[in-house]
Amino acid sequence: MIIVLGLLSFTIAKQRALLYLQNNEPLRSMPVYHGLYVSLWAFLIPFFLIILFLTFKANYLNYLVTPYLSEETISLGSEEIMYVKNFLINNISNLNNLINSGFISEADSNSLIEKYQNSRLISFIFVIVLSIVLSFVSYRKLSVRFDARRRVESILKFIFFIFSTIAVLTTIGIILSLIFETLRFFSQVGFFDFVFGTHWSPQTAIREDQVGSSGSFGAIPLFTGTLLITAVAMSIAAPLGLYSAIFLSQYAKPKTRDFLKPILEILAGIPTVVYGFFAALTVGPFVRSCGEYIGLTVATESALAAGLVMGIMIIPYVSSLSDDVMTAVPLSLRDGSLALGATQAETVKKVIIPAALPGIVSALLLAISRAIGETMIVVMAAGLAANLTANPLSAVTTVTVQIVTLLVGDQEFDSAKTLAAFALGLMLFVITLALNVFAMIIVRRYRERYE
Amino acid sequence: MDKELENNNIIENKALIECKNVDVFYANQQALFGINLNIGEKEVTSLIGPSGCGKSTFLRCINRMNDVIDICRVEGSIKISNEDIYHPDIDVVELRSRIGMVFQKPNPFPKSVYDNVAYGPKLHGRILHKDDLDEKVEKSLERAGLWSEVKDRLSEPGTSLSGGQQQRLCIARAIAIDPSIILMDEPCSALDPIATAKIEELIDELKDNFTITIVTHSMQQAARVSQRTAFFHLGKLIEVGDTEKIFRSPDHEQTEAYVTGRYG
């Protein structure tokens, strides 16, 4: 409705501005801006109002139904009150349900519904009237000399500011919630036990007398597992990705490149679940039989299998980005090197790669953070056993996998087991953040030296 | 036909580079038409002509830099010291190591000043000792007239120098591989007049040891630095001769129109 009003006011205002033009009056701003100015007023403020209404709707409904609770319900305690309230709120537009439920009498039902519908009507009319009034007020301001363009610009600037703030605030909110939950976790489990503990078995007692009721929350095995798998993955992805990037950007003919690059990028589009069962069903058994052939005992779920598949998954992150930065190295540098009698390989090694290094480093680090955060492949291919080992042939588990297993289950939300997930999440976040900062420092230092 | 005659007339037998019927195609578009041009040893030859006339393309034929461009095809014969450089047995990399090239825009590598100059010698492995390399770098920079300005800044990145210094660094880099020929593709087009004057001075000194071919848009520059001048137009070589003659009394009307600035 307000969209229609906004459009309507846009057309009217534009028409008026066009009228000035037809009368050969020196219009200061383009007619479009006159239209935009009025319609922004007619649309934006009511729009934010609607959002505000919707935000506080739940609180309002809560307030609305509270007087209708029967004394019997109130005497039953807070949980029952919550239940009845929710029932009333959910069925607030359905008279039959309200009466049949027995929580509320017929007369009360009617008055509740009436109140609800009145308030809806009032807020609706309020928004519409506001929209009309605002468009009218802003319409009155239009004149030949009116500087609609600059005002529209500043309104738009404000809108963009709001949106960027929303994005930033959301991020901050997520981080804060992580931090608070983590603090709660550390009130139950010691900080050092968590960060430096070498044993991970996250059990908490459901009953006091349960066997093995005290869990241990040493995160070291998880992080070594993550590191191990990431290392395996990078040892696959870094050379493969880098060399294919060199081929694509330096040796391949444009046609070949146009053909190969999208195919390589498809690798990044395969769902990780697919990689996961590929790892679990094909690569895992293959690695094991290979290992057995040369006399090694390999677990079916091994870090090696998961790492291999993960490495293949992140090849496109390395290759595609590195290819872009290497292609972006000025042709004049390449020509300069070739003209000095360097072969193509010498040129790549001594000129192209040094010039593209900041980009290549950030491509590698992006791939690493991708590998650290990867969950699905590891769940399926590397197992759940938290072994503290550096042997890629044994089963390991990673931080992300443990977060999943901690939260999947019917533990109550404030147990140490669930809260541990937040602590792990925070640590993971800190690590990837540190990695990114580290990458940025390297890149900046390199730039300073060579630019 | 008379063109060929002229060519042969002017070049006695001291031609280092001999080009016969050179055609160049970009995909299906012909960029150069039957160029016959001989370039004399240890003198400066300038190639002039309006933009897009093919003079840079011709220059890049001489060290086969056109090979880098996939769609480019070169026909005809170019001989350096009587050796056909388009013969299948020719090693392009070795060929280029005998020919220095200076580009339109200074393109120092993202390395230190020292490493920029040492790049070529290191590559070709002709110099084994660090001391010899130091000497080579110093000598090359000296010949490029840059040594006194950068001798305390050898470890700074080449890109931190000024535009004119960068271009002289690129010349030093080209000299360092001991080429017999130096090709310059509008080496001063990105430089201010003072830096340009320095480069021109340098070219004048270098001609005692190197055969220099320079593409330029500035007629004054061609007149100042070169002994012979070739005028290109629309992919054809219109006229070639002693610089004085080309600028004083060219045989062709087109040449005259161009050098007097009435055209192109």
User: What are B194-214's pLDDT values in tens digits?
Assistant: 888 988 998 998 888 899 999
> Which domain CATH number covers B60?
3.40.50.300
Quick one: B150 and B195 in the same domain?
no
pLDDT for residue A429 is more than 80: yes
For A27, the 3-state DSSP assignment is coil
Between A254, A338, A451, which is nearest B159 by CB? A451
Rounded Cα distance, B179 and B94, in Å: 11
User: A346 Cβ partners below 8 Å, 6+ apart?
Assistant: A337, B123
Q: What is the pLDDT of residues B215-234, one digit of tens each?
A: 998 888 999 999 999 999 98
- Report the pLDDT averaged over residues B29-36: 91
Q: What is the pLDDT of residues B40-69, one digit of tens each?
A: 888 899 999 888 888 899 999 999 998 888
State the pLDDT at residue A373.
Answer: 84
Rounded Cα distance, A128 and A118, in Å: 15
B93 at A interface, C-beta within 8 A: yes
Instruction: Tell me whether residues A337 and B119 touch, CB distance under 8 A.
Output: yes
Residue B174 lies in a domain: yes
Q: What is the pLDDT of residues A362-410, one digit of tens each?
A: 889 889 988 888 888 888 887 777 777 777 777 788 888 888 888 876 6
State the pLDDT at residue B8.
Answer: 43
Q: What is the pLDDT of residues B112-148, one digit of tens each?
A: 999 999 999 988 877 778 888 999 999 999 888 889 9
Residue B103 lies in a domain: no
State the pLDDT at residue B1.
Answer: 41
Residue B148 lies in a domain: yes
Quick one: B119 and B233 in the same domain?
no
* A335 vs B contacts (CB less than 8 Å): 65, 68, 101, 103, 107
Quick one: B158 and B38 in the same domain?
no
Structural domains for chain A = 2-148 (no CATH), 214-450 (1.10.3720.10)
Residue B40 lies in a domain: yes
Residue A411 pLDDT level (bands cut at 50, 70, 90): low
**Distance from the B246 Cα atom to the nearest Cα atom in chain A, whole angstroms:** 30
B91 at A interface, C-beta within 8 A: no
- Rounded to the nearest integer, the mean pLDDT of chain A is 82
Instruction: Tell me whether residues A333 and B109 touch, CB distance under 8 A.
Output: yes
Quick one: B144 and B168 in the same domain?
yes
B124 at A interface, C-beta within 8 A: yes
Range from A88-92, A130-134, A160-164 carrying the lowest mean pLDDT? A88-92
- Considering only residues A220 and A215, tell me which one the structure prediction assigns the higher pLDDT: A220
pLDDT for residue B166 is more than 90: yes
* Domain carrying residue B226: 2-98+180-259
Q: Which of A122, A116, A76 is nearest to A92 (CA)?
A: A116
Quick one: B81 and B207 in the same domain?
yes
- Report the pLDDT averaged over residues B154-174: 90
Quick one: B112 and B233 in the same domain?
no
Quick one: B89 and B150 in the same domain?
no
Residue B202 lies in a domain: yes
Residue B264 lies in a domain: no
Q: Which of B126, B124, B151 is nearest to B137 (CA)?
A: B151
Q: Which of A244, A383, A375, A390 is nearest to A305 (CA)?
A: A383
- Rounded to the nearest integer, the mean pLDDT of chain B is 87
Between positions 164 and 193 of B, the ones with CB within 8 A of A are 170, 173-174, 177
DSSP bridge partners of B38 = B18
**Distance from the B222 Cα atom to the nearest Cα atom in chain A, whole angstroms:** 23
* B180 vs A contacts (CB less than 8 Å): none
Residue B160: closest CA among chain A residues belongs to which residue?
Answer: A451
Quick one: B236 and B123 in the same domain?
no
* A339 vs B contacts (CB less than 8 Å): 63, 65, 96, 99-101, 103, 174
In a 13 Å sphere around the CA of A299, the CA atoms on its Cβ side amount to 18
CA A90 to chain centre: 31
Residue B124 lies in a domain: yes
| DSSP secondary structure, A77-142, as one string | -HHHHHHHHHHHHHTTT-HHHHHHHSSS-HHHHHHHHHHHHHHHHHHHHHHHHHHHHHHHHHHHH-
Instruction: Tell me whether residues B107 and A332 touch, CB distance under 8 A.
Output: yes
Let me know: does B113 contact B154? Beta carbons within 8 Å: yes
Domain termination residue (choose one: B178, B202, B235)? B178
Beta carbons within 10 angstroms of residue A121's beta carbon: 10
Quick one: B163 and B190 in the same domain?
no
Residue B123 lies in a domain: yes
Instruction: Tell me whether residues A253 and B70 touch, CB distance under 8 A.
Output: yes
Domain termination residue (choose one: B178, B194, B214)? B178
Domain termination residue (choose one: B162, B178, B194)? B178
Quick one: B16 and B84 in the same domain?
yes
Could you tell me the sign of the dihedral formed by the alpha carbons of B103, B108, B113, B118, in that order?
negative
Quick one: B93 and B203 in the same domain?
yes
For A48, the 3-state DSSP assignment is helix
pLDDT for residue B13 is more than 60: no
Quick one: B92 and B18 in the same domain?
yes
Q: How many domains is chain B built from?
A: 2
